[in-house]
Amino acid sequence: MKPLSVTLIVLLASLSCQSLTPTVPHQSEIKSDVSAVIQQQQADWNAGSVENFMQGYLRSPALRFASGGDVFTGFDAALLRFQTSYPDRQTMGALFFSDIDVTVISPDAALAFGRWALTREPDHPNGLFTLLLRKTTQGWRITHDHTSTTTPQN
């Protein structure tokens, strides 16, 4: 039996490595898609629709939302929490997200960190958020949300 030529070995090794490497969308595309979900949520909130705002979340019992020392599990529980906490336009105020920083974890997962602020009378609540988003058949959706409120300084 003749030994394989070095060229053939290199070619076979190259082909096998290429077939094992998944096609990964460019990180900037993922970051842009994730940021678009967050910006759409801001627009939906400011249009006065909690229901449309919630479209950024995974509609699943596996959704996890933590805020104010409470944890809500499932899309329906998170929706009810938002509807109860923000029953009307005045309570909703105007929402602004800033300092959004997206880290791509894998082709189907990303972390997003940022700040949120509501402008409304008579207060101006604000804080931080950390989101885990997953790529689904419906697009990028938030699967885990931890939102905190900044304590006002006296």
pLDDT tens track, the chain, 154 positions: 445 444 434 434 444 444 344 445 699 999 999 999 999 999 999 999 999 999 999 999 999 999 999 999 999 999 999 999 999 999 999 999 999 999 999 999 999 999 999 999 999 999 999 999 999 999 999 999 999 999 765 5
Tokens of 13: 């090794």
Q: Say what the alpha-carbon torsion angle 92, 96, 101, 107 is, to the nearest 10 degrees.
A: 60
In a domain, 3, yes or no: no
In a domain, 2, yes or no: no
In a domain, 20, yes or no: no
Sort 14 into a burial class: Cβ within 10 Å, 0-12 / 13-18 / 19+. exposed
In a domain, 101, yes or no: yes
Task: Please tell me whether the overall predicted TM-score, pTM, comes out greater than 0.85 for this model.
Answer: no
In a domain, 123, yes or no: yes
Residue with tokens 């969308």: 25
Closest-CA residue to 104 (of 133, 127, 65, 125): 133
Which residues form the domain of 100?
26-149
Residue 41: CATH number of its domain? 3.10.450.50
How many domains does the chain divide into?
1
β-partners of residue 147 are: 67, 129
In a domain, 70, yes or no: yes
